[in-house]
Each structure stands twice: as structure tokens, then as C-alpha cells.
């Protein structure tokens, strides 16, 4: 049986299935609570508001029963280090230029927000792109040699980072720069080993990326594809595409382990 703290968390969100959804696991069963990865404790605390010391007192007490600050800190650091990877999921949108990936992303974001799912995006662009304009103060700072320039206002802030002959950052390094969200939609990075939904448009007159990319899990297309052995949905059915993205999204930690193999 789950322990008292977990039962309190289940009640706080209205059931086991809802708790599983909020912390990003596919199986709603939460038996054998003391065997789950310690990184999930903070995920449950964030989702339910139940304090981690109640959820897992065995993790947050010293062996002799005292409140040893060093023991608490070591365990806390271990959990916090895994927090992003345990809660944030990632899924890609792949397709030829002109297939409508960006248009699709702009339609998907409101759908996810309406479902209570927070979203961030990561887009791979051509090497010469720029968000700044000559003559602006921030542009002049970079031209003078600054490695990073932060521009801030009451409504938003942005940071521009110049690589200055460094190697291009990989996808996971960039994802690590994001604040925690439920879902990261990645446009591009098609050579990276993580699940993707292919966006295919007949007017492009291009071949499918599938089956040459084994990480393509499904296809959104504006035509019938009877030869494809993957799930295929109408490119205009945004809700169905959102369902597929959620179905095949994986944690950042899963991607890291795949790339390490």
C-alpha cells in the first residue's frame, strides 16, 4: 500500500490517474511508492502541494532520526539535480522546409494551454540568423565583443549568446537553459535521437522522411498515406496531433540516455 504522504497527494489532486498525468507518467499505478525514483518526489510535491518531508520521510531524515542539515542537503541536491529530467517531456516536429511546421506549432500551443499544459519551444535555425538590429544598443554591445547580452523590460527579457568560435550547442544543452515546463516542442534537430512527428504536405512534392528516420513515431499529413505503417492523422486535425505529441513525448532524461547509448 502507498504510504500516508502519497495518499494525501492522491486526495489533493482528485485521484491516482490525475496524479499520474500531472507528474508525466503513463501508468497510473503508484503502489510500491518507496521504490520509485527519488526524483519523482519533487514532481509530486510540485503537482500537489504536499510537502516532500510528508511524501517521503525516509528520504528526509538522518539515519539516527535527527534533522542533520548535511544529510538533508545532500539528498535535496540529488533530487533537484534530477528534477528537470524527471518532469519535463520533449517531442519533435520534423519535416521539409515549407511543410508548415511553424504554422502547426502556433496552432498547437493554444490547444495545450487550454488543456492546462505549459509549453516551451526550441527551433533550430540557419547559422546566420539574428534577432537584433544594427544600431540598437544591444547589437553594439555584441559587436564590441560581449559574449552574452541580456535585454530586459517590464514585459519580457531575452539573452543573446555569441558562440565566438565555440562549437554549436546540442539540443539537450539548449533544453537545459529552459525553465521547467510540461512539454517542449522542438522544431528541427532532425538528426537527433528523440521522438518526432513528421509534418508532410503534398504540395511540397518531397519524399517522406520516414522510414529513413527511425525516431519518427507518427505522421501528420494533408493526404492519404496507405503505405505508411505508422499512425497518420489529418494535418488540419490539431487536437489529434496534440494527442499524438503527448502520447510519444519522452522525458529529457530518456533522450539523454538514448544519446549516450
Quote the CATH superfamily of domain 89-127+170-260.
Answer: P-loop containing nucleotide triphosphate hydrolases (3.40.50.300)
- Asked if residue 39 has pLDDT above 50, the reply is yes
Bridge partners for 88 per DSSP: none
Q: Where residue 71 falls among pLDDT bands split at 50, 70, 90?
A: low
* Domain range 4-87, its CATH number among 1.20.120.420, 3.40.190.290, 3.30.420.40, 1.10.260.40: 1.10.260.40
Domain with CATH 3.40.50.300 in the chain: 89-127+170-260
Q: What is the 3-state secondary structure (H, E, C) of the chain?
A: CCCHHHHHHHHHHCCHHHHHHHHCCCCCCCCCHHHCCCHHHHHHHHHHCCCHHHHCCCCCCCCCCCCCHHHHHHHHHHHHHHHHHHHCEEEEEECCCCCCHHHHHHHHHHHHHHCCCCEEEEECCCCCCCCCCCCCHHHHHHHCCCCEEEEECCCCEEEEECCCCCCCCCHHHHHCCCCCCCEEEEECCCCCCCCEEEEECHHHCCCCCCCCCCCEEEEEECCCCCCCCCCEEECCCHHHHHHHHHHHCEEHHHHHHHHHC
| pTM (whole model) above 0.85 | no
Say yes or no to pLDDT of 98 above 80. Answer: yes
Predicted pLDDT of residue 149: 80
Task: Give me the residues paired with residue 221 across strands.
Answer: 200, 234
pLDDT band at 80 (very low <50, low <70, confident <90, very high): very low
Q: Please report the pLDDT score of residue 164 as a whole number.
A: 78
Residue 250: phi and psi, rounded to 5, are -125, 165
> Average pLDDT over the chain, rounded to whole?
80
- Mean pLDDT, residues 195-200: 95
Q: Is 90 exceeded by the pLDDT of residue 63?
A: no
Residue 108 above 90 pLDDT? Answer: yes
Q: Long-range pairs for 97-103 at CB < 8 Å and ≥24 separation?
A: 98/201, 98/203, 98/204, 99/199, 99/200, 99/201, 99/204, 99/206, 100/199, 100/201, 100/235, 101/187, 101/199, 102/187
> Could you report the per-residue pLDDT of 247-261, keeping only the tens digit for each?
999 988 788 777 656
Q: What is the pLDDT of residues 135-189, one digit of tens each?
A: 777 778 777 888 778 788 898 888 888 877 777 778 887 887 888 888 999 998 8
Asked if residue 25 has pLDDT above 70, the reply is: no
Spell out the long-range contacts of 165-168 with Cβ–Cβ below 8 A and sequence spacing 24 or more: 168/127
Amino acid at each position: 500500500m502507498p504510504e500516508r504522504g502519497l495518499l494525501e497527494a492522491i486526495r489533493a489532486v482528485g485521484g491516482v490517474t490525475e496524479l499520474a498525468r500531472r507528474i508525466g507518467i503513463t501508468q497510473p499505478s503508484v503502489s510500491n511508492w518507496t521504490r520509485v525514483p527519488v526524483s519523482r518526489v519533487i514532481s509530486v510535491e510540485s503537482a500537489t502541494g504536499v510537502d516532500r518531508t510528508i511524501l517521503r520521510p525516509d528520504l528526509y531524515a538522518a539515519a539516527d532520526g535527527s534533522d542533520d542539515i548535511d544529510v538533508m542537503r545532500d539528498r535535496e541536491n540529488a533530487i533537484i539535480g534530477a528534477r528537470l529530467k524527471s518532469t519535463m517531456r520533449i517531442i519533435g516536429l520534423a519535416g521539409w522546409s515549407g511543410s508548415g511546421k511553424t504554422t502547426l506549432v502556433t496552432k498547437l500551443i493554444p490547444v495545450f494551454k487550454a488543456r492546462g499544459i505549459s509549453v516551451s519551444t526550441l527551433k533550430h535555425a540557419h547559422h546566420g540568423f539574428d534577432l537584433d538590429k544594427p544600431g540598437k544598443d544591444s547589437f553594439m554591445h555584441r559587436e564590441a565583443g560581449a559574449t552574452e547580452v541580456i535585454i530586459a523590460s517590464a514585459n519580457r527579457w531575452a539573452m543573446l549568446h555569441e558562440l565566438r568560435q565555440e562549437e554549436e550547442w546540442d539540443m539537450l544543452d539548449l533544453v537545459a537553459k529552459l525553465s521547467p515546463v510540461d512539454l517542449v516542442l522542438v522544431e528541427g534537430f532532425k538528426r537527433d535521437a528523440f521522438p518526432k512527428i513528421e509534418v508532410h504536405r503534398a504540395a511540397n512534392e518531397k519524399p517522406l522522411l520516414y522510414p529513413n528516420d527511425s525516431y519518427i513515431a507518427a505522421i501528420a499529413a494533408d493526404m492519404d498515406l496507405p503505405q505508411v505503417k505508422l499512425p497518420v492523422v489529418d494535418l488540419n486535425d490539431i487536437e489529434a496531433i496534440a494527442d499524438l505529441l503527448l502520447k510519444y513525448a519522452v522525458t529529457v532524461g530518456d533522450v539523454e540516455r538514448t544519446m549516450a547509448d
